[in-house]
Amino acid sequence: MPSTIEVLGDAIDVSAIDSVQAVVCDLNGILRGKRVPVNQIEKVLNGGIRMPLSIVGVDIWGEDIVGSSHVFANGDIDGICASTGRGALPVGWTLKPSAVVPLWLVKENGEPFLADPRQALASIVRQYHELGLRPVVASEMEFYLVDSEPDHAEPPISPYTGKRLDSDAILSIDELDDFGEFFSDVYAECKRQNVPADSAVAENGIGQFEINLIHSSDPLKAADDALFLKRIVKGVARKHGFAATFMAKPYGGRSGSGMHMHFSIIDADGNNVFDDGTAEGSDVMKHAVAGLLRGMEETTLLFAPHFNSYRRLRPDTHAPTKISWGYENRTAAIRIPGGKTSARRIEHRVAGADANPYLVMAAILGAALVGIRNKWIPPEPTSGRAYQGRGASIPVEWGSAVSAFENGSIVPEIFDSELRAMLIACKRQEIAGFAEQVTDFEFGAYLEIV
């Protein structure tokens, strides 16, 4: 075993690492894998770890899907866990120094397992490259800091004042200062893991913040960065004595947390194909917008994958409800930001922070590509309050989003049949799990009344 390993141009002292976590990302955006002794790190990096292909399709509780063809019908076969090229990422918030190695699944014959969400995104990126195009993407990640003690969401106590937060504080510098040590550690961990964290701001909700990621012409790395930013934020929060949540709506009456994705497309010469020198943007940009709009109903499940996700998609909450687009319009699902035409881009505002970054990015880039290939034309852009528009609505109920995903005509052009089948089965099992629960609120509403 070497004394150091090279990761993204930096040498990591293996003797300073206590353990290694070999992980793959499942369809829910949860890392699953194995803890491996550090003396086996070369084995992990060289594809020597195997895991069941079914691991990417387990439900949110980590349970196998009843009746899944990937479990008992075929003997729950293994896949090979290949390195993504990210190497071993040092983790500094654990009690003992550790490292995580991101992996993705390939079949025994070496073919990518396209139900792996990272492989699904890679498939879309390859299609862009075949056309001589390269997507440039960035994400904005919102989250809440909460008290780690209660079983329900409760604002944290400020480490600076010793008082519990009790008011919204959008763009508050004081609130950023209150949690300054937390943010300093987050940025330090991001630097260690080569996650390009940009600005942080206080958002609308109590204890709600946003961290932006710098744009990248490598969508796979950009999705990795979003996934690992979430892990870093949650890990550092625990280190500081509170918790972080990327739930779409941890408080029923306060702002939800989104994961807004920005993207443009450059050609082989580095030109932004969305830019035609005008404020309206190019025909290619409009074709992409049209693809996003036509595919939005059937891809909503990727943007709002959980029971809680649909609490966020409500009118007048800074989250979209209509399948709409507009210039500099934050009430629309698709926003075209202003600024220099050379930076013309699309902002997709539907996804919640609870979504899987790989699937969100694959759905967005995939639907845009379908629109570009077919040269679809979008409807007129929305001006003003998009919530009052006459157009179709984004699905506001989990089950209808699953059905739209299952029956859509654009989704099969984006995702492999195995991924679609595994995701549908996973979500239906989760829906059944939630349907069996009777909440305290429900019990209190009906006890001795009906």
Query: 89-115: per-residue pLDDT in tens?
Result: 989 888 888 899 999 999 999 999 999
Q: Which residue has the tokens 């996003």?
A: 292
* pLDDT at 180 (0 to 100): 87
Q: Given pLDDT bands bounded at 50, 70 and 90, which one contains residue 4? A: low
Tokens of 422: 């595994």
Residue type, 250: P
Lowest mean pLDDT of 84-93, 388-397, 415-424, name the range.
388-397
Contact 198, 211 (CB under 8 A): yes
pLDDT digits (tens, 9 = 90+) for 428-450: 999 999 999 998 888 899 988 88
Determine the Cα–Cα distance for residues 316 and 303; give it in Å rounded to an integer. 19
* pLDDT at 8 (0 to 100): 43
Contact 213, 196 (CB under 8 A): yes
Determine the Cα–Cα distance for residues 101 and 89; give it in Å rounded to an integer. 6
* pLDDT at 9 (0 to 100): 43
Tell me the mean pLDDT in the region 71-77. 69
Q: Is the pLDDT of residue 426 over 80?
A: yes
Q: Given pLDDT bands bounded at 50, 70 and 90, which one contains residue 392? A: very high
Q: Is the pLDDT of residue 335 over 80?
A: yes
Helix and strand element counts for the chain (H, E) = 11, 16
What's this model's pTM, rounded to 2 decimal places?
0.93
Residue 335: in which H helix or E strand, if any?
strand 334-336
Between 54 and 19, where is the model more confident? 54
Contact 329, 337 (CB under 8 A): no
